[in-house]
Amino acid sequence: MSTETLQNARRQIEICNACRYCEGYCSVFPAITRQTAFADGDITQLANLCHNCRGCYYACQYTEPHEFAINLPQILAEVRTDSWKEFAWPRGFARAYDRHGVAIAGLLILCVMALIFLAGSLQNVGSGAGFYAYMSHVVMVAIFAPAFVLPLFTAGISIRRYWTHVGGGRIALKDLRKALQDVATMRDLSGGQEQGCNFEDEDRFSNARRVAHQFVLWGFLLCFAATSSGTLLHYVFDLHAPYGFFSLPKLLGVPGGLMLSAGTAWMIRLKLSADGALADARVRGGDMAFVVLLFAVSTSGLLLYAATGTALVPLLLTFHLATVLTLFLTLPYSKFVHGFYRLAAMIKNAKAAK
């Protein structure tokens, strides 16, 4: 990690600790006041606890042009990205975080589409029903199972490294529950009094980002549950796709997809109107690519369902599968990991707050 960035973060955090005006906004400031000295691990932990709600920036009497030049949302965002790169495994891939994210994602989708087409053309097309008319179930599983498992495995290694670095220790069930509750409600984007955060319109408080984020989070989880239920139906109950509308995969997947598409579109709009100077400029493209990719996953999934029985299915299916594959392949090296690190930081914080 850049010692210069860490030192600047430490300098700013010490100023915050002497001021404490922002104590009521989020979890970061109460965590700061519990300490008087800040080791590198403490700063990494605070950085991953920060949700970039920006309330502290607009309330700060020491932002530029003041000589103290406080910009806590930005410096913590930089430490946060640095920590993800530091803990990424294999480390060589870490550079993917800040190299023209949109271009990488686009290119990857194209490559994956080509591969899927290739895989599809190599086998006996037309023997299955629904999707499987275009790609057999076996091929799909052969491609996707490792693509799901490997990234989660590498992300797991990263989180382990993080946990050691910040001195996480044993996890109590109570701390896990508290952290999950706070994630479920995005408490740290509530501004402390449900007024929300300062994101899309300078110092105006709004819950837009909080609600948009929860559309994305809950939408994603519903889609994930839909896929899982499909897997169960396939293997346990021997019920194969295509599924009708009143089946678990569709009842979970359609609302999930709608939420994910609406949430990501909203998030993109909010991100475009937010001040880039309060975030890590190096990963602006990568962060945006992640949200666009999520949007592409859910929207192509919905379109695919809508196009059932038409000639568009092969193309849409290939595109949809390519986006899903890209999302998971880039998981350990994209904004996707923020969810794992954030949850870890919140568990650690719940533990320390006792």
Partner 1 sequence: MVNLVKNRGNCQMTTSYDIIVVGGGNAALCAAIEAAETGARVLILEAAPKSYRGGNSRHTRNFRCMHDGPLSVLIDSYGEDEYFDDLLRVTKENTDEKLARMVIRNSQECQPWMEAHGVRFQPSLSGTLSLGRTNAFFLGGGKALVNAYYRTAQALGVEVHYEAEVVHVGMSAGAFTHVELKDGSKIEGRALVIASGGFQADLDWLADAWGPAARNFLIRGTPFNRGVVLRDMLDQGAGGVGDPTQCHAVAIDGRAPKFDGGIVTRLDCVPFSVVLNKHGQRFYDEGEDVWPKRYAIWGRLVAAQPDQVAYSIIDSRSRDLFMPSVFPPIKADTLDELRIKLDLPIAAMQTFDSFNAACGEGAFSPQELDGLATDGVTPAKTNWARPLSEPPFYAYELRPGVTFTYLGLQVDETARVQAGGTPLANVWAAGEIMAGSILGEGYLAGFGMTIGTVFGRIAGKEAASYVN
List contacts with partner 1 (CB under 8 A): 14-15, 17-25, 30, 33, 36, 55-56, 58-68, 192-193, 195, 203-204
Q: Provide, rounded to whole angstroms, the least separation between the CB of residue 59 and partner 1.
A: 3
In angstroms, the CA 277 to CA 281 distance is 7
Nearer CB in complex with partner 1: 109/274: 274
Q: Report residue 287 CA to chain centroid gap.
A: 9
Distances 102 to 8, 98, 108, 115 between C-alpha atoms, Å: 29, 10, 10, 20
Q: Provide, rounded to whole angstroms, the least separation between the CB of residue 26 and partner 1.
A: 11
C-beta atoms surrounding 177 within 10 Å = 12
Nearer CB in complex with partner 1: 3/193: 193
Nearer CB in complex with partner 1: 22/47: 22
Q: Provide, rounded to whole angstroms, the least separation between the CB of residue 21 and partner 1.
A: 3
Q: Provide, rounded to whole angstroms, the least separation between the CB of residue 198 and partner 1.
A: 9
Distances 8 to 4, 149, 290, 345 between C-alpha atoms, Å: 6, 38, 28, 21
The answer to whether the CB of 109 falls within 8 A of the CB of 323 is yes
Q: Provide, rounded to whole angstroms, the least separation between the CB of residue 211 and partner 1.
A: 20
Nearer CB in complex with partner 1: 12/229: 12
Rg (CA), the chain: 22
Nearer CB in complex with partner 1: 195/247: 195
Nearer CB in complex with partner 1: 64/91: 64
Nearer CB in complex with partner 1: 50/267: 50
CA 310, 313, 314, 319 torsion: positive or negative? positive
Nearer CB in complex with partner 1: 27/136: 27
Q: Provide, rounded to whole angstroms, the least separation between the CB of residue 267 and partner 1.
A: 24
Q: Provide, rounded to whole angstroms, the least separation between the CB of residue 67 and partner 1.
A: 6
What residue type is assigned to position 53 of the chain? C
Q: Provide, rounded to whole angstroms, the least separation between the CB of residue 30 and partner 1.
A: 8
